[in-house]
Structure 1
Amino acid sequence: MRMNKKTLALILTGLISNNAFAALVEKSSLVVDQIQIGKMDGDTEPAQYSVMFNFHNTGDDINKWQIGFYMPRSFYSLAAQNINPALEMQVCNADGGCANLHYVKSPFNAPDLSQGYFTVLEPISSFPLKEKGRYYIRLAHSNQWPAGNVSALPQNLFLISNNYTKNGVPRIYTISTELTQYSLLGYDHNQVETQIKDKLTANWQNSQSFITDSLPGIVPQPVSIKAVGSDGFTPPKQLTIHNQLNDNNSVASLWAQKIKSDWKQKKPVLIDNDSGANTGIIITEISDPKSIANSPEGYRLTINADNITIETLTQTGAYYALQTLRQIWAQNKQTLPSVTVTDYPRFKYRGVLLDTARHYLSVAEIKTLLDVMASQKLNTLHIHFADDEAFRLGLESYPNLTATAANRGLGQMVGPNMLPQNNLDTTNLTQQVYPLANSAYSGSYSAEDIKTLISYANANQITIIPEIDLPGHARALIKALPEVMVDPNDNSQFVSVQGYSDDVLPVCTYGTDISVGNQFTPTMNTIMQNIAAQFNNQSTVYAVNNEVSVGGDEVSSHAWTNDTSCRNEWANLSSLEKSHLFFQKLAASNRDLIFSGWQQFIQNESASLGKNIVAANQTGHVWVWNPSSEGVGQAVSLANNNYPTVLAYADKTYFDLAYTPSMYEPGFTWATGYSDTYSSLSMAETASKTQSKAKNPQNIVGIEGTLWSENLPSFDHLMYMALPKMPGLAEAGWSPNWVTINNKQLDWQSLATRLGCGETGFLAYLHQSFSVNYRGYPHGISRELPDDNSLCSSTTASN
């Protein structure tokens, strides 16, 4: 392919998440005129839509070519599974000449081309793109649902010539697009904006009325906060923390550094264990533990003119009291008001899932996330280390695993995917450079990285639970160890929800000598043992030793349907039942481990439990991700059968979903069009509903917000999706339900007031403390308030 001088540009890409990726960027001579997405002629089914690319060639003739792009939809066809059975793909010129396009897929043992949401197409017969010629590409009647917003657009378009680099990587030529060139057919901007405004107004009007008082505004709202006098506490020039609770001064040492910095103490904050001290900050055992519900995380914090007293049962309670003290100080930086705060959590599990498989985050970035979580008294980070797109956890027994499985891009075994385009990402205010199809995108966590993260998390009272997704969502692992993970007896045809046709483990060989069974079985056992060993012996109050999450979700119903290794007890089982039996056998072979997973790890697609499943007494947690319309029943069934159940209903606390249905708002929309702070807070009410239906409500142990990272290419984007939703989750998980819910009304007005309008409030506190931005920065929560609301009347921010 010949390129003239105007079409060449050489750019060395920068850094993303402290993860270097370099790519040679050469611009194509193809210029996009318009891209239309939506319902077109012949799209008669609800899920059907079409895409039309209109473009022209400003350079020389291009004789042999392929075109590629990223779009979170699959263009693979499999009629047996009703995946795109009517899909038509063509390229046509202005004279009406057309050629059908072919979906270009590599053999599994070769570097990837099309897979998942990454598509490469080529004409099935010669179809040169002539100089000055005008063309359109038509992808008609896909049944994978129309795009709803900027995240779902076809993006990062490129052309592949028949040239390759020295390393055998296909040479690509980028095709530039701007948001103005896209058209979502049927999208009515004014109508959507009106709906959003009406929703924000309804949220406000249907919540508890709130009148601002003089008491400090704490997030999450404590059980009780009362004024106890008029004289406040003024820090002395020499401050001492007296730990009378025990001789473990780790929490006091951590906070001594923070207090010195926050309070601008010139002298170091001292620490002792003086049982007779009555000045400074005193940490002591609470005499009436019932007042904090006997909770190891509870505390009573009393501030008066003479001292600050923290009464608690554990160092964890002291830590949370000091978090509250830090918020009070941020609002009163000269003299702390005399108050008594009595506090303890509603749920013992208050978590966030972080997906590092789709997009890598550095250790430093995860530490910042931990800081933000800890400030809101969230206590569990559930890290998703492995999925179809990557396996990022370094394992002692398989040191070369991440060399393949933690890297992706054209020319690599794991191909490019999850490629949001930087100038289409409305959170990318600095126009940070994002990976392209030919970028070498990589990142993994060594044993030393994990030690660092666990130490930092545990010091901040956060447990880390590791997760690798099995037996589906396992493509990166399979690509890295094909001699162990690929069963030649399996000729099943399927497509996963994310568009993969080869992402399941050879489960029917586990524990047998059939096919790869003799290798697969010990490999899986060793992987599980290696992971458990890395995350063992955490020091937090609710840490579960030897806990590993195996995911267990979204196995295609057509997996293993043509696998001759599935004999005997496996023969007549559905795909989900085979998944259940695999986990049961894996657990039986590793009785020292505690297994966790999503609801499909234990349940059928309905709320019923599977026949062959891991027992409740060998289960750490089961997370329920379905929207609450289905999820409530599933959670109740799990709880009634004594499984420790965590609510992560997608319509409530999937942080990666879009705040609103605006086409300019990033995030998926499959579970709800309004994944905002009010939605996260509403989990308080939905959790109460779930508990009320359960015979064993004590087994509903908590709630979780998720940061699935398909659309989170940078830490700034992640924080945009997490904040201010996370404080809503924290309030729902910590504050008592009689605070968050009153007469079926949420305390949204109160929370919004405490979050603030930018210069003050909790969002400003997070920004000042940890240098993180949030959606709506620097105007606080104003984007989630009605236009006529007086709370942030001086703030100008559009919805």
Structure 2
Amino acid sequence: MKLKLFASTMLLLLGSVSAKSYTKADITVNSIQMGHMDEDLANEFSIQFNFTNKEDTFKKWQFGFYMPMPFYSLALQNVNQNLRMQICDAGGRCTNLRYVKADSITDKDLSQAYLTILEPISNFPLEEDKTYYIRLGHNNQGLPANISTFPQSLFLINTAKAADIPKIYTINTEISNYSLIGYDQNKIDEDLKNTIQSNWNSSIAANPNELKIVPAPVLVGQPIDSGYVFPKKLLIHNQLNSDNAMLQNWAEIIKDDLDKKVTVDNDGAAKDGILITEISTPKAINNNPEGYRITITADNIMIETMTNAGAYYALQTLRQLWYQNKEKLPSMSIVDYPRFKYRGILLDVARHYFSTDEIKKLIDVMAANKLNTLHLHLSDDEAFRLELASLPLLSATGANRGLGQQIGATMLIQNNLDTTNRSQLDYPLANTPYSGSYSPEDIKNLIAHANQNQITIIPEIDIPGHARSIIKAMPEVMIDHNDNSQYMSVQGYTDDVLPVCTYNSDISIGAEFTQTMNTLVNDIAKEFNGQTTIYAINNEISVAGDEVSKNAWSNDTSCRNEWSSLSSLAKSQLFLERLANNNSDLLVSGWQQLVQNPDGSFNKEIIGSGQTGHIWVWDPSSSGVKNAAKLATKNYPTVLAFADKTYFDLAYTPSMYEHGFTWAGNNNGSYTVLSSAITANETLSQTKNQQNILGLEGALWSENLASADHLFYMALPKLPALAEAAWSPAHTTSRETKLNWQSLANRLGCGTDGFLSYLNKIYEVNYRGYPNGINKEIPDGICKLNATSSIKK
């Protein structure tokens, strides 16, 4: 495993230089103002940086920053067609600024997508002790809304150094430097308070005596006797099968939790301890292989199930119970099984890298919530993270970035602006080498840990769009010089699509490209084979297939014959169909654009439903419900991942001090995630083939997730809300338009008690609102801080 590198040696624009080429600039940022300004159209915004240079005069310079909105212009797509950029001094002397971009994708990156580097078009020195302002006017690529979308990690490149070696200066900003035109914090706070109260008032009233388990089980029975007192030595008798590996792991957990000696055996006649046996009436658990029945009496704890997975989830439930009382479990019976077979999390390790230990911790938290699928996003424009012996350049080049490298700096979250960074990690700067990849041994270890916790891992690479890191790594195979198309992706890339029209042909690089793509998908799928979870599928790979620019391949002379009249999406779909047909042993999965048009219709040349493992629907629910239902009706195995419901990287609140994107909503807290239970109801009602709606997924896209701290801030407490929606019965989570939000909040707790406290103590993860439980997402006064209270109606 190659870790992130926060080295002191910096790679600069023109090559490798010493650490002396990196300096903190004595440049004072006085203000950064953003929003609608004079002459901005309704969909445009402008930014004005005001700063004072305390350094010696910079004769030749470039100014750069990270912001998740591109400042490149492409009139063909109406992208920033009115953009005007200039710098002025206090006396009114001005010059325009140009966007500094590499001439070719084979050159080392300068500006690209969310990383902007500008320079004056004429001589304009920055003189010592002089004040300047930079105004970037009429950008139409979104609106800045909060810390995550503000320009940050500012830097200045002194390009007038001797021997053509530039020197990079970082420019510090504080949150107090930023202002949004028209922003009213008092109004935001009042609106948020009203939203929280409205959500609470419109929810199903909680039962204060309910069992404090997340997700809520199907049925809890009445006490049978006085309950089970844990003995000094606890015996686990596996009467289900002879495979004790999973139970041996649980023996260690119980030993640590309860400070007891624990022994596992296969004594079929035993009547004491924890008995795990085959359920005699599978209908009681809906014939569900993940279901279980627990009966707790004074004599023993009986777990009845059909599979090891059912026993595992029963033990997860019991662990929550004994966390609440380590000496004695109350007598009761619990019948439980999941609503949906697919309960997943997408983790994007391309935009930001997470170590195997960090991923394992996420797997542990997922398993505690009875989620069962990790959708692992291994490549995107910014990186290719998987080490493949057959294609070593993909990770050797594609897993590294920074100024002076083939893949330039990007996703530069500024350390002091990230309030989630509790561990105080040093985040990369523009010229910090940043890398991370996963070896075959890393993948084996992840799979072993996932198997142990009933989590299936589905590998995903992103093609034919979002493929810039692949192109950068292997340009001689991935660049078709017949393609002179001009386009821009949603994220601002102008060179991130594969040469699809050459696949299976002898046109241009067709032969090499075809062989490479076949090798790529087969080798990745094989690396993830051998998983032992209930729903694991051998030879499955997701190719994503999403967000190809509408102008991609529009001027590509390799697109002949049947390709010539197709839209860019149809070309993408035809390429992926042919890739699947050429590799018929694979199940090729992806996002809905893999097979479906934006209006929900289907082209003729698409991968058939029988050759797909999963189709994820990310459309916001306003269109996603209808499109997902159409996919299910056409027999595609469909997973609901509606962006406005379960994209965990979206902001919890509209506050400018909150982290997260806002493009699909800016009130995307746990209540919103729980409401995916209702949109699931709506989707099911619109298709005849309800069995093809496999379940729900939450997405942790990592553009903003620069650390594990930030990842868990965005994941918790949203993840338990997803688990509730995906596992608990529909009649529990919702009644018409009302959610069981009060109940879930009651079980999540107010700090020292509840499920959030449990996750914090057991797995050492923090959450948004730590240490006060769900307090930030419910009305004032409901939680009594610094007390072990339960939430009252």
Superposed counterparts of 1:575-724, under 5 Å: 575-724=568-717
Query: Which shows bigger deviation, 114-123 or 16-25?
Result: 16-25
Among 237, 242, 250, the alignment partner of 2:237 is 242
String of CA shifts for 1:37-65, please: whole Å, max 9, x gaps: 10000012x22000001111112111000
SS of the residue 2:614 aligns to: strand
Deviation at 1:430, TM superposition (A): 4.4
Write the distance in 2 (CA, Å) between the matches of 1:590 and 1:693.
33
SS at 1:34's partner residue?
Answer: strand
AA aligned to 1:226 is G
Q: CA deviation at 1:431?
A: 3.4
Question: d(CA) in 2 for partners of 1:603 and 1:413?
Answer: 34
Match of 1:394 among 387, 391, 408: 387
Equivalent residue number for residue 10 of structure 1: none
Residue 69 of structure 1 aligns with which residue? Answer: 65
2:38 paired residue among 34, 38, 41:
41
Partner SS, residue 77 of structure 1: coil
Does the Cα contact within 8 Å between 2:40 and 2:138 map onto a contact in 1? yes
Give the C-alpha shift of residue 229 in structure 1: 2.5
Specify the code of the residue in structure 2 equivalent to 1:66.
Q
Partner of 2:108: 111
| Contact 2:238/2:267, CA 8 A, preserved across alignment | yes
Does the CA contact (< 8 Å) of 2:292 and 2:305 recur in 1?
A: yes
- In structure 2, the residue matched to 1:262 is 257
Deviation at 1:794, TM superposition (A): 5.9
Counterparts of 1:561-580 in structure 2, within 5 Å, are: 561-580=554-573
Is 1:56 matched up with 2:52?
yes
Aligned residue for 1:620, secondary structure, equals coil
Q: Tell me which residue corresponds to 2:327.
A: 334
What CA distance in whole angstroms lies between the structure 2 residues aligned with 1:682 and 1:17? 38
- What amino acid is aligned across from residue 610 of structure 1 in structure 2? N
Distance in 1 of aligned mates of 2:672 and 2:165: 45
CA positional deviation for 1:708 = 0.1
Deviation at 1:788, TM superposition (A): 3.8
CA deviations on 1:145-182 (whole Å, 9 max, x unpaired) are 2201110000000001126799x985310011101011
Distance 2:313 2:423 in 1: 35
Q: Distance in 1 between matches of 2:611 and 2:783?
A: 53
Which residue of 1 is the match for residue 176 of structure 2? 180
* TM superposition shift of 1:544: 1.1
Corresponding residue for residue 3 of structure 1:
none
CA distance in structure 2 between the aligned counterparts of 1:339 and 1:17, rounded to whole angstroms: 48
Distance in 2 separating the partners of 1:75 and 1:677: 34
Matching residue within 102, 122, 127 for 2:124 = 127
Letter in 2 for 1:243: N
Residue 97 of structure 1: how far off its partner (Å)? 1.2
Whether 1:503 and 2:496 are equivalent positions in the alignment is yes
Structure 2: how far apart are the matches of 1:495 and 1:68?
20
| Identity %, equivalent residues | 60
CA RMSD of aligned residues (A): 1.6
Relative distance call for 1:170 and 1:613 in structure 2 (3 A) is: farther
Structure 1 distance, partners of 2:477, 2:25, is: 41
- Match among 294, 302, 311 for residue 295 of structure 2: 302
Q: Which residue of 1 aligns with 2:155?
A: 158
Contact 1:17 1:365 in 2 (8 A): no
Secondary structure of 1:300's aligned partner: strand
TM-score, length basis structure 1: 0.95
* Equivalent in the alignment of 1:79: 75
CA–CA separation in structure 1 for the residues paired with 2:425 and 2:501: 45
Equivalences for residues 455-474 of structure 1 within 5 A: 455-474=448-467
Summarize deviations over 1:5-46 as a string: whole Å, max 9, x none: xxxxxxxxxxx98654445441123221111010000012x2
Query: Aligned-pair distance for 1:500?
Result: 0.3
CA distance in structure 2 between the aligned counterparts of 1:53 and 1:94, rounded to whole angstroms: 13
> Which segments of 5 or more consecutive residues in structure 2 lack a partner in the other structure?
11-18
SS in 2 for 1:121: strand
- 2:87 is paired with a residue of what secondary structure? strand
**Counterpart in 2 of 1:147?**
144
Rounded to whole Å, the distance in 1 between the matches of 2:5 and 2:318 is 36
The residue number in structure 2 matching 1:91 is 87
Q: 2:97 corresponds to which letter in structure 1?
A: L
Does structure 1 residue 425 correspond to structure 2 residue 418? yes
Q: Is the contact made by 1:21 and 1:435 (CA closer than 8 Å) also made in structure 2?
A: no
User: Structure 1 residues 475 and 91 mapped into 2: Cα distance closer, same or farther (>3 Å)?
Assistant: same
Report how far residue 789 of structure 1 moved. Answer: 2.7
Are 2:3 and 2:437, in contact at CA under 8 Å, matched by a contact in 1?
no
Aligned residue number for residue 247 of structure 2: 252
Amino acid at match of 1:254: N
The partner residue of 1:740 within 723, 733, 737 is 733
- Matched AA of 1:194: E
Structure 2 CA distance for aligned equivalents of residues 170 and 520 of structure 1: 37
Taking the aligned partners of 2:741 and 2:481, their CA distance within structure 1 comes to: 56
Distance, in Å, in 1 between the alignment partners of 2:736 and 2:411 is 44
Mapped contact 2:652–2:667 kept (Cα < 8 A): yes
2:406 to 400, 406, 413: 413
Change (3 A) 1:584 1:410: same
Task: Map 1:767-786; keep pairs closer than 5 Å.
Answer: 767-786=760-779
Letter in 1 for 2:143: P
1:715-749 deviation per Cα after TM superposition (whole angstroms, max 9, x unaligned): 00000000000000000000000111124311100
Pair 1:172–1:21, CA change in 2 (3 A) = same
CA offset digits 1:647-687 (Å, max 9, x no partner): 00011000000000000000000001111111111111110
Q: CA deviation at 1:793?
A: 9.2
Per-residue Cα deviation, 1:470-495 (whole angstroms, up to 9, x for no partner): 00000001000000000100000011
- Structure 1 counterpart of 2:757, from 751, 761, 764: 764
Shift of 1:421: 0.4
The one-letter code matched in structure 2 to 1:116 is A
Structure 1 residue 515 corresponds to structure 2 residue 501: no
Q: 1:191 aligned to 2:187? A: yes
Q: Which residue identity lines up with residue 199 of structure 2 in the other structure? A: N
Which blocks of at least 5 consecutive residues in structure 1 are unaligned? 1-15
CA displacement, residues 389-414 of structure 1 (integer Å, 9 cap, x when unaligned): 00001112012321110000000000
1:483 aligns with 2:476: yes
Q: Does 2:212 align with 1:228?
A: no
The answer on whether the counterparts of 1:753 and 1:791 sit within 8 Å (CA) in structure 2 is no
Q: Secondary structure at the match of 2:52?
A: strand
Residue 791 (structure 1) shift: 6.4
1:501-551 CA deviation, whole Å, 9 max, x = no partner? 000000000000001101000000000010011001210001111110001
Q: Which amino acid aligns with 1:130?
A: E
The 3-state SS of whatever aligns with 1:52 is: strand
Measure, in 2, the Cα distance between the counterparts of 1:235 and 1:397: 54
Partner of 1:7: none
Say which SS state the counterpart of residue 582 (structure 1) adopts.
helix
The offset of 1:603, in angstroms, is 0.6
Q: 1:397 to 1:599 in 2, by over 3 A?
A: same
1:210 aligned onto 2:203: no
- Counterpart residue number, 1:136: 133
Deviation, 1:572, is 0.4
